[in-house]
Amino acid sequence: LNLGKEVKVLAQHIGISVFKARRVIDQIRGCSYKDALMILHFMPYQAKLIYSAATNAKHNMGLNEANLFISKVEVNRSTIVKKLRPRA
C-alpha cells in the first residue's frame, strides 16, 4: 500500500453544466476506483478525468489501479460565453 502518494488531475473548460457535473461527482466522491467505474457505467454522463487520473497514477507513479481511492472531487463555475444576438 502506498500511503501518502496523491495524484492530482485538473480539467478546464468542459462543456457540461456545473449542476450536471455535480450530480456525477456527488455519487463517486469517497469511492474506490473500481466502484466509481461501476457507478459511472450506469449514469448518463461520462467522467473521462477518472480514467485519466488512473492512467497517470499507473504510468507516472507506478501505483496499482486496485488501490486507488477518490478522496477529493470538486466542480467550480467557469467563464460564461456571451451569446451574440445580431440585430438589424
Can you give the residue ranges of every domain in the chain?
A: 18-67
**pLDDT tens digits for range 29-50:** 999 999 999 998 998 888 888 8
Angle between helices 33-41 and 48-61 (to 10 degrees): 150
- What confidence score (pLDDT) does residue 34 get? 92
pTM over 0.85: no
> Is the confidence at residue 78, as pLDDT, over 70?
yes
Confidence class of residue 2 from pLDDT cuts 50, 70 and 90? low
- What confidence score (pLDDT) does residue 38 get? 93
Within 8 A by CB and 6+ apart from 21, the residues are 14, 45, 75
